[in-house]
Structure 1
Amino acid sequence: MGIWLWRHIVPGVSAIGLAAIVLLISDLPRRSSSDASKSQPPQVVMLQMSSQSIMDEAAVKVIAGLAEAGFVTDQKSADQSGKGRAIVLTRLNAENDMATANAMATEVVGGRYDLIITLSTPCLQAVANANKRDQVRHVFGLVSDPTVAGVGVGSGPMDHPPYMVGIGTLPPAEKSFELAKQINPALKRVGVVWNPAEVNSEIATKVARTTCQKLGIELLEANAENTASVREAAVSLIAREIDALWIGGDITALSAADVLIQLGNQAHIPVFTCMPGNAAKGALFDVGANYSVVGHQVGKLAARVLAGEEPAKIPWEVAIPPKLFLNKGVIGNLKGEWKFPKQLLDQADVIIDPAAKEPLKTTLTRPGCSRPVCRGCSIDRVCG
């Protein structure tokens, strides 16, 4: 009986013990890695869609928001202050190429990142599609309407995937047309170049259609699938004798804003937008959200997640801090009756008036402020 037990039971027990030892040994690296990760700076990656001023400035403010909450990108600063915690921040830019954005999203989701921050609707969609297994926590911003982006965000503040949270910022398309009509009551025909592949652009264009119908404006549309085709689309619209060009929340058109403004100048018609940053380039006016403020809010939200709050327990938000830029230097080159009413000038956050100072300078003003700044400087750095 003793021999039988030895031959039949002991080998089984030995096998179980051996298996346990193997599992224990194989788990050691994971434990060591896990323990080490607690002492390592969190790995954060920020993905933006293109090199536009509003995205660049928002990205800078995201970093500022993180720092204000105690997460700094400089280990030395963290050590000196004794209060901050260093993070390793990787910045990526898809340069307005969706295939690149998708490739980057796949790469970062598969990487060892503690948090992904995305700026723009296309980047939100790219990362959400790659992150369907909830592998990485995700904070989004500079998104027109996340509820129609197809990423699982609903209308309720807590209706979002458990690993994702962020801020929606709908461009005020309706307000931009109301202001254009206020500046030129005779406005009848407006052209828009937009990319149907961009959900954010489709949202703004639909609002523009409804608003134009209400205001008695004919909206003429031309599609552009990439920045290279924006010029041709705009030329086709100008040939149809439009009174102005409008840029909505379309990243493709915004990336070619200089081209649209140049064509508008040649045709003596204005370009107006619902996205800040273009009046300084020569647009007649911008009315939209202050994306620097939004970026700061995104940074503070990302810091909450890094600090240990679960995204599932944080409501997603809507933030549209308003900002109005007027460019008085454009008026003199326009055909038609374009004029800024005094009431509108009083409401403006920033007024660009090249004639007010010496050449190569632009005066940016808001009530109680009148300081010159070189054209290449950031407006927000002076008046924001």
Structure 2
Amino acid sequence: MSRLPAMARAALIALLVGALPAVHGCARSRESGAARPRRVALAYIAPHELINQVVRGFREGLAEQFPGGGCQIYERHANGDLAQLSPTINALIAQRPDLMATITTPASQVALKNLPAGIPLCFLAVTDPVGAGLVESLERPGRATGVSDLAPFASILRFVRDTLPKARRIGLPYNPEEQPAVFGKNRLEELAPRYGFQLEARAVVSRDDLDVVVRKLAQNNDCLLIGTDNAMFEAAPQIVKIAREYRKPVFAGDSTSVKAGAVGGVTVNYYEVGKIGAAIAARILRGEKPSNIPVYTMPEGFIELNLASAERVGIRFDPEVVKKAKTIYR
């Protein structure tokens, strides 16, 4: 994925981290004052391309902040099983970390519930921290803080409108059991009329439902959209395959779906989610309280295109749009 310009990224992270020296801040024990590496626990539900980008950014960010082994990261995942999230996080708590970092909403919710009061939480890639019950507000979060990957919904709808000027209906498959997915659905329903769209959202309650739901949406709508929905991210190849049978384009707000065959979208840079999360984690490790660190929300995002997929459904992007795209799959 494309990253923020180097100077802009450096300035942002410097602002987040502040001027305190990196190595000394990380290598001092909270309990005794003796020098030792800080211990950071990192938990998530399962490896996935987007999560892997967050992990890479987080690890590289902490390595930059605390060079020379100043931080040790204990990383575990739940092998895709929600029921295993709590035991996974408890196993990390047993390592007595100085900070717990979690990726996505479900892992963050379980961690906040399970963590003892002395271990702060830095969450990464959480769409709606307030709605998920993780923070009291974005400005004064409370026990936990971190990075929101709130999708640029308005920019996504504007991109669909610019690509399909005559389109009137958008189909949205979503997982009703995922808080970020429901949040995204509600936000898209609110915004769609402003761009001349009617949104048809249909719940996918199981893997067996996916084929039927997507076919119905493809029949009824001008295009499909993959929203802020981990289950639909994973199902993107199947959604694209079905939509192509009806010669309907799929748009997305994440890079993996565009890579998997969505024609394009406006996406969040998940490597930067991890990198900025590392900067916030560094501030906590140096002694700042999470309640004093506002939740960081990612900026507007950037355009990604899949030209091969677009051609298969009869779409040719304006050359100016192609020039603006940060990532192009051919």
Q: What TM-score range do you get, normalising by the shorter chain?
A: 0.7 to 0.9
Q: Which residue of 2 aligns with 1:176?
A: 156
Structure with greater contact order relative to length (CA < 8 Å, sep ≥ 6): 2
Does structure 2 retain, via aligned residues, the 8 Å contact 1:204–1:248? yes
Secondary structure at 2:176 match in 1 = coil
2:108 is equivalent to residue 124 of structure 1: yes
Q: 1:325: how far off?
A: 0.6
- Normalised by the length of structure 2, the TM-score is 0.83
Does the 8 Å CA contact 1:166/1:298 hold for their aligned counterparts?
yes
1:123-272 map, 5 Å: 123-131=107-115, 133-155=116-138, 158-162=139-143, 164-227=144-207, 229-238=209-218, 240-272=219-251
Instruction: Give, as a single letter, the amino acid of the residue that structure 2 aligns with 1:51.
Output: P
Q: Which residue identity lines up with residue 199 of structure 1 in the other structure?
A: Q
Q: Paired residue for 2:65?
A: 69
Q: How far off its partner does 1:201 sit?
A: 1.2
Residues in 1 aligned to 2:102 and 2:267: alpha-carbon distance in whole angstroms? 20
CA distance 1:174–1:304, change in 2 (3 Å):
same
- 1:286 offset after TM fit, Å? 2.5
Matching residue of 2:319: 342
Cross-structure match for 2:280? 301
Tell me, which stretches of 5 or more residues in structure 1 are unaligned? 1-32, 72-83, 354-384
In the aligned structure 2, how far is the partner of 1:45 from the partner of 1:323?
A: 31
Among candidates 51, 56, 59, match of residue 60 of structure 1: 56
SS at match of 1:278: helix
Structure having the higher Rg = 1
- Given residue 342 of structure 1, which amino acid in structure 2 is its aligned partner? P
Give the SS at the match of 1:269: coil
* Whole-angstrom CA distance in 2 between matches of 1:229 and 1:120: 24
CA distance in 2, matches of 1:47, 1:285: 30
Alpha-carbon distance, 1:95 to partner: 4.4
3-state DSSP class of the match of 2:41? strand
Alignment root-mean-square deviation, CA:
2.5
Structure-2 change in CA distance of 1:302 and 1:264 (3 Å): same
CA deviation map 1:299-331 (0-9, x unaligned): 122122223333333333222262211111122
Counterpart amino acid of residue 233 in structure 2: L
Structure 1 residue 260, shift from structure 2 partner? 1.1
**How far 1:217 sits from its partner (Å)?**
2.1
Judge which range, 115-124 or 307-316, deviates more: 307-316
After alignment, is 240-249 or 304-313 more displaced? 304-313
- How far does residue 107 in structure 1 lie from its aligned partner after superposition? 3.7
The DSSP-based 3-state class of the residue aligned with 1:143 is coil
Distance 1:65 1:236, change over 3 A: same
Q: 1:224 touches 1:252 (CA, 8 Å); kept in 2?
A: no
- After superposition, the C-alpha distances for 1:12-36 in whole angstroms (9 at most, x for unaligned) are xxxxxxxxxxxxxxxxxxxxx9988
**1:178-231: per-residue Cα shift (whole Å, max 9, x none)?**
111111111122211111222211221112112222233222222123555433
Contact kept? 1:184, 1:339, Cα under 8 Å:
no
Matches of 2:75 and 2:300, distance apart in 1: 25
Cα pair distance change 1:138/1:191, threshold 3 Å: same
Q: Secondary structure of 2:302's match?
A: strand
Whether the 8 Å contact between 1:192 and 1:221 is mirrored in structure 2 is: yes
